[in-house]
């Protein structure tokens, strides 16, 4: 590389990543195959439009790439191409959610999503997001008793507010979601059911988390979390919504898709069909459970009492007996353990310094970590935060 400054920074970041314990729940480490596709000559090609209907010439190869990516997405999640349509041109999760709403929910209408402090995502209609400015969010939360979804309360809110879409699938909720109950609630109030499975898409692919496709009208996932691919997103919609979605993506939101990114997604989808990926997904959940239990045994309160997935929240504030999430995250980073500060349900502290941290095991499991490593990591976290 001729650019010495960037070359130096690349080396520094590579060294940083190697030298830390990465517990960021939304990060992972891609394979050499995914990296090769990202850095391939596909990055040079402008391919505005869709396969077989491009606005530029010279797209015979990239058409094959996009078709292959779509085919692999359907195969991985065992979906019928007659019933489901896939769009792989979104650049990341938030704009993918935005595109879905714009395609299917009239502006100003209600979108019902989990409140941010209960584990929801900004792009699920939160007021600081464009999704909360162009649509009206109807928030729901978790129970004060067990910090889990209260489906009776969710139903009551949905029947009262009559949203056009209900969003499930979250960024900081550690329990398995009952998609069947959400489907029943959506049907009763006349809403579409959208599942954002960005965090657990790899767990679904690996068979350790229930698939939402039987119950959902639309599904979106990023590809860089438990799916272990590049930073990108995939949108799945029932066939009757296909035209509206595709027109919203192009020409509505994007010009030329990033074909190198789509090629890299195709690689990660192939990798997720391999037997080794199922073993990986199972180990991710095992590691998460061990890490949560180990921290509990050391006196830390785990939100909802544990986890069923790759992530969980730790209450570091513990009603003033501990430390704030910001300080906790900074202390851990100084000790080369990387987490993020995170609000916990019914948090009384500000988002900039909330009461907890979020931990995830997908990245360290990719590095080969097992049960004994999780116990050791818990002890290091405990020592750091109590010092």
Report, as residue numbers or ranges, the catalytic residues: 46, 48, 196, 222, 225, 231
Q: What's the gap between Cα 241 and its chain centre? A: 22
Give Cα separations from 153 to 38, 141, 169, 217 (angstroms): 45, 9, 17, 22
Q: What's the gap between Cα 378 and its chain centre? A: 24
164 vs 158: CA distance, rounded Å: 10
Report the candidate in 266, 315, 270, 293 with the shortest Cα–Cα distance to residue 361: 293
Burial 17-45 (b: 16+ CB within 10 A, else e): eeebbbbbbbbbebeeebeebbeeebeeb
Angle at 134 between CA 187 and CA 94, to 5 degrees: 80
Give Cα separations from 98 to 68, 132, 133, 183, 194 (angstroms): 25, 10, 11, 21, 12
26 vs 234: CA distance, rounded Å: 16
350 vs 358: CA distance, rounded Å: 16
User: Strand, helix or coil at 314?
Assistant: strand
Contact 157, 133 (CB under 8 A): no
User: Strand, helix or coil at 323?
Assistant: coil
């Amino acid at each position: 590389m001729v650019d010495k400054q960037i070359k130096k920074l690349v080396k520094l970041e590579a060294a940083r990543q190697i030298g830390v314990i990465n517990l960021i729940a939304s990060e992972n480490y891609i394979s050499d195959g995914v990296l090769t596709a990202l850095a391939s000559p596909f990055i040079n090609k402008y391919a505005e439009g869709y396969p077989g209907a491009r606005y530029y010439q010279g797209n015979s190869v990239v058409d094959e790439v996009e078709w292959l990516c779509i085919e692999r997405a359907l195969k991985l999640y065992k979906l019928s191409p007659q019933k489901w349509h896939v769009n792989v041109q979104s650049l990341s999760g938030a704009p993918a959610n935005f595109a879905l709403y714009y395609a299917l929910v009239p502006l100003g209408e209600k979108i019902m999503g989990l409140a941010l402090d209960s584990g929801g995502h900004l792009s699920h209609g939160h007021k600081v997001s464009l999704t909360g400015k162009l649509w009206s969010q109807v928030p729901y939360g978790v129970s004060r008793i067990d910090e889990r979804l209260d489906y009776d309360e969710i139903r009551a809110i949905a029947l009262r507010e009559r949203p056009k879409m209900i969003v499930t699938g979250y960024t900081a909720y550690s329990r398995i979601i009952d998609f069947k109950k959400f489907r029943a609630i959506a049907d009763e109030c006349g809403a579409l059911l959208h599942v954002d499975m960005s965090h657990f898409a790899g767990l679904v692919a690996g068979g350790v988390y229930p698939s939402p496709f039987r119950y959902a009208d639309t599904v979106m996932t990023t590809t860089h979390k438990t799916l272990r691919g590049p930073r990108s997103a995939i949108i799945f919609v029932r066939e009757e919504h296909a035209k509206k979605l595709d027109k919203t993506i192009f020409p509505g939101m994007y010009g030329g898709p990033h074909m190198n990114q789509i090629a890299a997604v195709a690689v990660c989808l192939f990798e997720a069909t391999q037997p080794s990926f199922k073993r990986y997904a199972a180990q991710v959940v095992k590691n998460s459970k061990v890490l949560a239990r180990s921290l509990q045994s050391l006196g830390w309160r785990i939100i909802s009492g544990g986890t069923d997935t790759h992530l969980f929240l730790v209450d570091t504030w513990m009603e003033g007996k501990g430390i704030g999430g910001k300080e906790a995250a900074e202390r851990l980073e100084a000790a080369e353990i990387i987490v993020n500060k995170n609000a916990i349900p019914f948090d009384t502290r500000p988002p900039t310094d909330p009461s907890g941290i979020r931990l995830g095991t997908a990245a360290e499991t990719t590095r080969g970590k097992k049960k004994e490593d999780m116990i050791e990591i818990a002890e290091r976290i405990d020592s750091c935060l109590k010092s």
